[in-house]
Amino acid sequence: MKPLSKLHAEAVAKAKTDDEKVKAAAVAMIETPMEMIRAILLKHEQAVIEVMKELSEERDRAVDLLTAEREACAKVCEDIAADNYGELSGRTIPEACATAIRARGQA
């Protein structure tokens, strides 16, 4: 068992009445459990912060992927427009863009 801290040992030694001794002893008794609770809470908070960090990084990756995909889709539409409407086979430019973008998802 862990010995009393200096502060608690002094409190017990200085206690004059039985009531004061009981209070000092009670404070000393909760010292170790409180340290354990602090350690558990610290570990919990560290885990929460780590999860928050991972979620933030995951969100950033998702934003990057969506940005890249949006730019790729815009490029598909720009390429269709740059071809002077190319062979649209009776489709409008928006229809041609939609078809080309959907085709990207099939690849």
Q: How confident is the model at residue 62 (pLDDT cuts 50, 70, 90)?
A: very high
Indicate the helix (H) or strand (E) that contains 18: helix 18-29
Using one digit for the tens of pLDDT, what is the confidence trace for 22-55? 887 777 777 778 778 888 999 999 999 999 999 9
Domain containing 20 equals 6-106
As a whole-number percent, the residues of the chain with pLDDT over 70 amount to: 85
Domain membership flag for residue 74 = yes
Count up the domains in the chain and report the number. 1
Domain membership flag for residue 64 = yes
How far apart, in whole angstroms, are the C-alpha atoms of residue 82 and residue 51?
46
pLDDT in the model for residue 59: 97
Whether this model's pTM surpasses 0.75: no
Domain membership flag for residue 84 = yes
Res 85 pLDDT > 90: no
Domain membership flag for residue 1 = no
The tokens for 87 are 């062979």
Domain membership flag for residue 63 = yes
* Between 83 and 87, residue with greater pLDDT: 83
